[in-house]
Each structure stands twice: as structure tokens, then as C-alpha cells.
Structure 1
């Protein structure tokens, strides 16, 4: 019963070129700042840097108590493999 417009759980895979220039940690730092600017009361966990299969990985969680576009709370987890 869920659609792209009306969903409660979604997994999205995105590819961005150029992330290697700022690194995974730098990308998530910018993303966290953007979330906090665009969502009143938003919070993010500290960025965790790790290694998976010999590659640098950065991850974090973001919580937005009220997404103004949907009228709903939103939580997302991000993992970056630059």
C-alpha cells in the first residue's frame, strides 16, 4: 500500500560523482549541516569513520522531527563509500 509519495520505509541508493574530493566524512559533515538548516529541531549522530573491504566508509543517522514537505517525522541512515 506504499507509494513513492506515501511511504513509511524506503531504501535509496544514490551515486554522486566528485565525493572523493571531499571524502565521505566531509560529505556527511555538509549533509548534516544542511539537514539542520532545513529541518527545525533536526539532530544527527556523530559521523563514524570505518573501513569495509579495505575502503574508507563514513556513516551517520539524521532525525528530522517534522519534514515540512510531508508533515511527517523522518529518520535516515547514511553510509558513504567514496
Structure 2
């Protein structure tokens, strides 16, 4: 079970993507593209973005990208199945949280051609006012049931809020810096 000592916030304008902090994970990479898209990658201590068995990735699309969660994650799903022979997908949940549409998708690859290893990944996509946000958890091995349950619970705690909108209120807290 994940212990959640503090929350982290990835900020883009007045929107904040809030997610529980993950003990034992370190930020291994951060990038902002010229078009404004942002990426953060976290791995367990001692691993790197080149050599990892588990990874947590957070992305915020370029400003102005408008897509529903099913459209955006569906694009990822099609690419995954095209790149991974025998790849499978399962839509876990779709709906609305804090006034924002979201979807949760699981993708599996029995043998990722890029790594030569299996890959199991869960994606939570949230449609913001001006960006699309994705938090994904990936394993390069078949995770145990308790790992799957913990990470699906983690993803259920990820939420988007807006500091300037009553329709998408942020909780009363002071998020820790990533």
C-alpha cells in the first residue's frame, strides 16, 4: 500500500495537477518543449530513465490542445497496439472528477520490441480547460495484484483543480514542491 505523506502539484497557469507523493521515487527527468508541453519522469531510487523497472510519468500537453480523455488516450492506445505485437488494452473507468472529464486506461505488451521486456502501463488522462494531463504508471515486468491495486488507488487520488475557478476548486492545502 502506498503511503501518501504529502501532495505534489504540477502547475500550468491557474490549473494544478495534484497527486500523492511517492516515497522512494526520485525525479529523473523534466522537460518543457518549445510548444509549452511539459514532462516529468520519476523512478525508484537507484534507477534511471534509461534503466528502469518502474516509472511514473506526468505530462501536460501544449496549451490549446482540446481532446476528450477517450480521444487522447485512444490515440495512445492505437500507437501502443501498432508498436507492440500482441498488445492489449482495457478501459477501466471514465467519468468526471472535480468538474473535469477523465479516463483510466490499462495497456499491456507481452514483449516490448524497444526493451525486449514485458510492459504493463496504466494511464489516467484528464481534460483540462487548456491542456490535457496524463499520469502514467509503468512496469517492465508483470506486477503482483497488490501492486496493481495500490497504483490504481494512487491514480484515483490524482486530480486537477483550478485556483481561480469555483467549478474546479483546489483543496485547502499547501502542496510540496516536486
Corresponding residue number in structure 2 for 1:3: 48
Match of 2:97 among 29, 32, 52: 52
Corresponding residue number in structure 2 for 1:27: 72
Number of residue pairs the alignment of both structures matches: 81
The structure where strand makes up a greater share of residues is: 2
Distance 1:66 1:46, change over 3 A: same
Corresponding residue number in structure 1 for 2:83: 38
Moved more, 10-19 or 53-62: 10-19
After TM superposition, what 4+ stretches of structure 1 lie above 4 angstroms from structure 2? none
Corresponding residue number in structure 2 for 1:63: 108
Q: How far did residue 48 of structure 1 move?
A: 2.6
2:76 is the alignment partner of 1:76: no
Q: How far did residue 13 of structure 1 move?
A: 0.3
Residues 52-80 of structure 1 deviation map (CA, whole Å, 9 limit, x = unaligned): 11211111000011111111111111111
Contact 1:45-1:61 within 8 A present in 2 as well: yes
The structure where helix makes up a greater share of residues is: 1
Unaligned runs of 5+ residues in structure 2 are 1-45, 128-178
Instruction: With the length of structure 1 as denominator, give the TM-score of the two structures.
Output: 0.87
Unaligned runs of 5+ residues in structure 1 are none
